[in-house]
Amino acid sequence: MSDVSPDRQWRVDRAGGWLRSGGSVLFLGNASPDESAAMLTSIAAQAEARRIMRCGADPRRADRPYHALADLLATVTDRDLAPLPEPQRAILSGAPFRSAPRADYFSPAGVRLSFLNLCRRLARTGPLLLILDNLHHLDPATTDVLCFLARAGAGLPIQVLATEQLTSTARSTGHRVCPRPLLVLGLGSLTPADMSNLIDALTLTNPPDARP
């Protein structure tokens, strides 16, 4: 018999079905790291992504630019980068993304465009899924890149599966990071601030039959 609660299983199945339909999923709330990681793994197994890139944002490195983007790029190979123009290959294979930097200089605009083109090419062979655990700990530079991807990559088979915790003074950034159509669900314990954000999110992004 499965030890997964019916409520959690409903969330896993709901999110998996939404991903298979081509959308993105954002969980708002508080859950243990183990619970969050296990749930994301279960959902990803139900998705039909051709390629998965994953990062777990680390609060200890939140002041390091692009640390979360470096995690996303950890499984990217030279073969993946080969179709990109040389300047973009140099950016994504350079500091701070790889252990052997080859780029002496890169601009935020250059990083945004390079990552967009990489994701665009990876998605040509099937859906690309970005898994962002604890996106509230994303460094600002990575957040900027992912927000650009969500806007400029609209219409492409690029999806995001993310978790985010909120505080009484924080507003969700997941709505800017996750491409549409976006399903927002509650996760774990919810504070009054979480509930306020979740209700706002449900009103803005979810279909009528969605529930927290």
Total-model pTM = 0.84
At 21-55, the pLDDT tens digits run 999 999 988 777 777 888 999 999 999 899 999 99
For the chain, the structural domain boundaries read 6-205
At 57-83, the pLDDT tens digits run 777 777 788 889 999 999 999 999 999
**Beta strands in 119-194, from DSSP E residues, in sequence order:** 128-133, 158-164, 182-188
Is residue 16's pLDDT more than 90?
A: yes
Top-confidence residue, 158 or 200: 158
Tokens of 87: 């300047």
Q: Mean pLDDT across the stretch 171-189? A: 86
Is residue 101's pLDDT more than 60?
A: no
CATH no., domain 6-205: 3.40.50.300
Nearest to 173, CA basis, from 208, 132, 126: 132
Q: Inter-axis angle of helices 108-122 and 140-152, to 10 degrees?
A: 50
Top-confidence residue, 205 or 147: 147
Tokens of 10: 């409903």
**Beta strands in 12-127, from DSSP E residues, in sequence order:** 24-30, 51-56
Cβ atoms of residues 163 and 187 within 8 Å: yes
Question: What number of other Cβ atoms are within 10 A of residue 67's Cβ?
Answer: 21
Is residue 183's pLDDT more than 50?
A: yes
**What pLDDT is attached to residue 160?**
97
